[in-house]
């Protein structure tokens, strides 16, 4: 058996030059005082003040980009408004449930499919997301065809085929906007929607007494609807990546369902104000909603761009933007209840509804989709409960206005508590 000799004790010591090399520039705690005093191993000076932390995490042009995107979305939303104005003559030949049910189905599908499509687009690309949106709206179109087929004549009007075309045209317009938002092709959709703008402007000029005889609005309107539809769904014809997973996860399905509840509740609120208001005075009801769209988009874009900013400043500016609809709506409601014309109460409902829209969309953009769904569903549920309770009937319009006022006030409290809180996402 051979035993190896032990190494000498001197070989286990660290040479002096190795210690000096380790201590140069950044001496560790084990360096002796005589090494720290040498010029080559002097410790760096300790700063007397801590470096200033950035106020937020935004890039220099992030807010400008968010505002530009908000302005682009406002231009995109002009397409359904222009189509509705250009087709106002056709709407007179169908029963009143046709446009309302179309709005209910289309707006609900648009909210849910926008949320689901955005999640799929991040994972599998715009082609697969566009197919998802197309499949969803195809199912809604099939449901509309079935409703028109089985509905009685008083619900669709004397011309059942015309009611079918009107509903499909409205669904196609909303499908165009949804596909453009999911595939991030808003600019292209806006360019291809300009013919509908021209037709809408010609219709307004004709209503004002200056018709355009060389422009057949009714003949060109179907083409103005189909052109942007084809452009928006062009990514669906491109091959997707089959290796990527495009099925929705559990949280994504829950978020999409919450947006479905938000869209259905908002559409029901529109239907309540539309039917509760006096006949022939729908313009005051729509006016606050149209004016609130650019303000809402700008407020949401600014709020999202303020990630990391001071909570007090974000909350103060957000509440300042959301408080005027409540004050103005309550003032108009008081005037409507005290003997003002009936159109004033409808205007109050539209103003309060625009504020509720802003609160729900802002909470949804901040990730509080559950709270947003509860606030959006509160007015329709409150109106239904008031009808069931044995209370003196105040009318559908006063009940809707009161429910919207209470929901708006509660929404302001929720926004004040969560506007600048970035810790929670649901």
Tokens of 359: 């609160």
Q: Note the pLDDT of residue 148.
A: 93
Instruction: Find out whether 362 and 355 touch, Cβ atoms under 8 Å.
Output: no
Question: What is d(CA 415, CA 304) in angstroms, rounded to the nearest whole number?
Answer: 13
Question: What is the model's pLDDT at position 4?
Answer: 44
CA 106 to CA 85: how far, in whole Å?
A: 17
pLDDT at 308: 58
pLDDT for residue 409: 93
Q: In this structure, what is the dihedral angle of CA atoms 418, 421, 424, 426, given to the nearest 10 degrees?
A: 30
Count CB atoms within 10 A of the CB of residue 350.
29
Written as tens digits, the pLDDT of the chain (426 aa) is 444 444 444 444 444 444 444 444 444 444 444 444 444 444 445 444 434 434 444 454 566 776 777 788 888 888 888 898 888 888 888 888 899 999 999 999 999 999 999 999 888 888 889 999 999 999 999 999 999 999 998 898 888 899 999 999 999 999 999 999 999 988 999 999 999 999 989 998 888 888 888 888 888 999 999 999 999 999 888 765 655 556 788 888 999 999 999 999 999 999 888 887 665 544 567 777 777 777 777 777 777 766 556 767 778 888 888 888 899 989 888 888 887 676 788 888 888 999 999 899 889 888 889 999 999 999 999 999 988 887 666 778 888 899 999 999 999 999 888 765 554 444
Q: In 61-159, which residue ranges form alpha helices assigned H by DSSP?
A: 62-76, 78-86, 88-91, 97-124, 126-150, 153-156
Q: Are 419 and 303 in contact (CB under 8 A)?
A: yes
Q: Which of 220, 98, 96, 83 has its CA nearest to residue 167?
A: 98
Cα–Cα distance, 230 to 180 (Å, whole number)? 11
Give the pLDDT score at 49.
Answer: 41
Region for residue 253 given its phi and psi (left: phi exceeds 0; alpha: psi -120 to 50; beta: otherwise)? alpha
Q: What is the pLDDT of residue 46?
A: 46
Nearest 5°: the CA angle 98, 101, 105 is 135
Distance between the two ends of the chain, CA-based, in angstroms? 73
Question: Where exactly are the structural domains of the chain?
Answer: 61-248, 255-426
> What's the confidence (pLDDT) of residue 420?
52
pLDDT of residue 32: 44
**Exposed / middle / buried, residue 75 (Cβ in 10 Å: 0-12, 13-18, 19+):** middle
Query: Are the C-beta atoms of 406 and 348 separated by less than 8 Å?
Result: no
| Cα–Cα dist 116/118, whole Å | 6
Entry pTM: 0.79
Residue 218: what pLDDT?
Answer: 85
Distance CA 58, CA 61 (A): 8
């Amino acid at each position: 058996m051979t035993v190896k000799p032990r190494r000498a004790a001197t070989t286990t010591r660290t040479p002096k030059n190795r210690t000096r090399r380790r201590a140069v520039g950044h001496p560790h705690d084990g360096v002796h005082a005589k090494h720290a005093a040498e010029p080559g191993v002097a410790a760096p000076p300790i700063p007397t003040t801590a470096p200033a932390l950035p106020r937020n995490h935004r890039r220099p042009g992030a807010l400008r980009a968010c505002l530009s995107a908000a302005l682009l979305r406002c231009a995109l939303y002009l397409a359904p408004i222009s189509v509705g104005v250009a087709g106002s003559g056709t709407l007179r030949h169908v029963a009143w449930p046709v446009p309302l049910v179309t709005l209910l189905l289309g707006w609900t599908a648009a909210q849910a499919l926008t949320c689901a499509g955005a999640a799929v687009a991040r994972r599998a690309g715009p082609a697969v997301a566009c197919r998802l949106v197309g499949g969803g709206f195809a199912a809604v179109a099939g449901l509309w065809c079935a409703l028109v087929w089985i509905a009685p004549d008083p619900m669709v009007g004397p011309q059942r085929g015309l009611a079918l075309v009107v509903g499909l045209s409205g669904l196609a317009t909303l499908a165009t906007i949804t596909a453009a938002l999911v595939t991030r092709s808003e600019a292209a959709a806006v360019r291809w929607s300009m013919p509908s703008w021209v037709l809408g402007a010609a219709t307004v000029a004709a209503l004002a007494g200056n018709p355009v005889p060389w422009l057949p609005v009714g003949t060109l309107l179907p083409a103005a609807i189909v052109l942007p539809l084809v452009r928006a769904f062009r990514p669906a014809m491109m091959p997707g990546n089959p290796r990527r997973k495009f099925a929705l996860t559990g949280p994504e399905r829950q978020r999409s369902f919450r947006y479905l509840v938000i869209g259905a509740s908002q559409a029901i609120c529109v239907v309540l104000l539309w039917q509760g208001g006096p006949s022939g005075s729908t313009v005051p009801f729509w006016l606050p909603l149209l004016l609130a769209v650019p303000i809402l988009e700008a407020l949401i874009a600014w709020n999202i761009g303020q990630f990391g900013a001071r909570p007090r400043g974000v909350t103060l500016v957000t509440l300042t933007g959301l408080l005027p609809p409540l004050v103005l709506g309550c003032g108009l409601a008081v005037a409507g209840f005290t003997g003002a014309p009936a159109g004033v109460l409808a205007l109050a409902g539209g103003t309060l509804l625009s504020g509720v829209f802003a609160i729900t969309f802002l909470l949804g953009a901040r990730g509080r989709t559950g709270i947003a769904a509860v606030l959006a569903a509160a007015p329709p549920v409150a109106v239904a409960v008031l009808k069931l309770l044995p209370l003196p009937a105040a009318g559908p319009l006063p009940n809707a206005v009161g429910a919207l006022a209470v929901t708006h006030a509660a929404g302001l409290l929720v926004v004040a508590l969560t506007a600048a809180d970035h810790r929670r996402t649901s």
